[in-house]
Amino acid sequence: MEEEKLLLIPGPTPVHPRIINRLSLPTVSHVSSVFVREFKEALSNLKKIVFCEQGKSFIVAGAGTLAMEMTLANLLGDGEKMLVVSQGYFGQRMGDIAEAFGCEYDVMQSPWGSAVQPDQLRDQLGKKNYSLVVSTHVDTATGSCAPVREYAQAVREKEALFAIDGVCATGGIEERMTDWGVDVILTAAQKCFGVPPGLAVLVFSERAVDKRKSLRSVHTYYGDILKWLPVMEDPSRYFSTPCVNEIRAFCEGTRVILDEGLDVRFKRHHKTACALRAGLGSLGFSFFTEDEFFADTLSLPVYPRGVEDRAFREKLAEKRVIVAGGLGRLKGKVFRIGHMGNISYSQIEFAVDAVEKALSELGYTFHPGSGVKAAKEVLQD
């Protein structure tokens, strides 16, 4: 048996026993009534999670990157332009996808640790005629959370469709599709849903579905939402075999979310983030992301002087907590700790305690117990 470790990387996230147990059920036919029922429930729960009243959800084998690709391939007609609003790493990936499809695009890139201001977006939208605007909600490399609600408002003043890359946010941070006027939320199973990796997850507004219908053809076959639409409306129909076990696990993941309650869940994520930052802050860590843009799902603690990245993360792993290193020019300067999905308050206390133990074994001096105490104070508040 592999020793169980607390996986606090920015996805995949720890999987609740209720969810992992669904993967071990016998594989049933993809057109059996039990599966059709659960697939339908997953699709309908997904719409509730993103507050989408009209519109269509899609759950397809793949991951976040396929969901990004499907968004572009279904919504950008030949000769049309896309604008990407990026506060880190994954916006550029959207640009790379546009390159692969030969689409025209621009990227508005904020400095790392902050985000593009809504007025800057307004200015850019005034300069060119974009058909699609895509923004990352929480960037996994920089830990910054973009003001996507304000972005949606700015895009609504134009004709363009607005899509959110919610891979590190959906199900952990509020996203209200209908109220805010968002056309697509794209995400994956393995981050805030706390389901094992394996699914591209999307919700399209009616406007977005109509846009696809208005395009004569698109440059994808498997990713064409019109191929999938009949299946999503009636999962007893066939287009390409759905991953039965994974979708049943995802269905359970959506039940876990709705059982907790969306409001309670979003507040829990916020409190968890505050507790973690209070705990690590009192041990001498600062944080890379500017306060205004802190994400509730992920943090980037900056090492205090004298703490070496690799040695620290190895020690922390010995204490059974796995975190990720910094990306790009943040390598060695920060670590990245995810606190999203189905993580309990006691797991956060465990993580802060493990950080204290690792630091202490590395000879770093601090007031023992102060991190856990600070985290607890926030959690008990």
Piece of 135-143, 271-279, 317-325, 337-345 that binds ligand PLP (CB under 6 A):
135-143
Please identify, among the stretches 20-28, 57-65, 102-110, 243-251, the one whose residues bind ligand PLP according to the rule CB under 6 A.
57-65
- Which span (100-108, 117-125, 164-172, 230-238) binds ligand PLP, by CB under 6 A? 164-172
174 lies in the site for ligand PLP, by CB under 6 A: no
Contact 49, 185 (CB under 8 A): no
Site for ligand PLP in 197-236 (CB under 6 A): none
Q: Which lies closer to ligand PLP via its Cβ, residue 64 or residue 253?
A: 64
If binding is defined by CB under 6 A, does position 65 make contact with ligand PLP? yes
Report in angstroms how near the CB of residue 9 gets to ligand PLP at its nearest: 10
282 binds ligand PLP, rule: CB under 6 A: no
Task: Give the per-residue SS3 of 179-221.
Answer: HHCCCEEEEECCCCCCCCCCEEEEEECHHHHHHHHHCCCCCCC
Tokens encoding 358 = 């690792």
Closest CB 378 distance from ligand PLP, rounded Å: 25
Minimum distance of ligand PLP from residue 363's CB (angstroms): 34
Distance separating alpha carbons of residues 135 and 119, to the nearest angstrom: 15
Question: What DSSP letter does each residue of 235-280 carry, written as one string?
Answer: TTS-SS---HHHHHHHHHHHHHHHHH-HHHHHHHHHHHHHHHHHHH
List the one residue out of 46, 72, 91, 319 whose CA is nearest residue 192.
46
Please give the full DSSP string across 105-158, using - where no structure is assigned.
Answer: EEEEEPPTTS---HHHHHHHHHHS--SEEEEESB-TTT-BB--HHHHHHHHHTS
Of the pair 76, 97, the CB lying nearest ligand PLP is at 97
Nearest distance from residue 197's CB to ligand PLP, in Å?
A: 6
- Which residue number places its CB atom closest to ligand PLP? 64
The answer for residues whose C-beta is within 8 angstroms of residue 309's C-beta and 6 or more apart is 303, 325, 326, 331, 332, 333, 335
According to the binding rule CB under 6 A, does residue 136 interact with ligand PLP? yes
**Those residues with Cβ within 8 angstroms of residue 366's Cβ, 6 or more apart along the chain or in another chain:** 283, 284, 356, 359, 360
**Closest distance of CB 362 from ligand PLP, Å:** 29
Nearest to 350 by CA among 113, 358, 211: 358
The binder of ligand PLP chosen from 11, 143, 198, 279 (CB under 6 A): 11
Residue 173 is given by DSSP the state B
Of 378, 374, 285, the residue nearest 335 (C-alpha): 285
86 token code pair: 């990026």
Q: Are strands 132-136 and 104-109 parallel, antiparallel or unpaired?
A: unpaired
Q: How many residues bind ligand PLP (CB under 6 A)?
A: 12
For residues 90 and 287, which CB has a smaller minimum distance to ligand PLP in the complex? 90
Of 161, 187, 150, nearest in space to 172 by CA: 187
Among 49, 58, 59, 64, binds ligand PLP (CB under 6 A): 64
Stretch that binds ligand PLP, among 61-69, 95-103, 235-243, 249-257 (CB under 6 A): 61-69
* 168 near ligand PLP, rule: CB under 6 A: yes
User: CA–CA separation, 329 vs 156, rounded Å?
Assistant: 35
Are 184 and 164 a contacting pair, CB within 8 Å?
Answer: yes
Query: Per rule CB under 6 A, is residue 143 in the interface with ligand PLP?
Result: no
Which residue lies nearer to ligand PLP by CB, 64 or 242?
A: 64
Stretch near ligand PLP under the rule CB under 6 A, chosen from 23-31, 47-55, 60-68, 79-87: 60-68
Which two tokens mark 121?
């977006």
3-class DSSP assignment, residue 233 = helix
Q: Minimum CB separation from ligand PLP for residue 293, in Å?
A: 14
Each residue 82-111 as x (binds ligand PLP by CB under 6 A) or -, in order, gives --------x---------------------
Closest separation between CB of residue 110 and ligand PLP, Å? Answer: 14
Closest approach of Cβ 193 to ligand PLP, in Å? 11
Q: Which residues bind ligand PLP (CB under 6 A)?
A: 11, 63-65, 90, 136, 139-140, 165, 167-168, 188
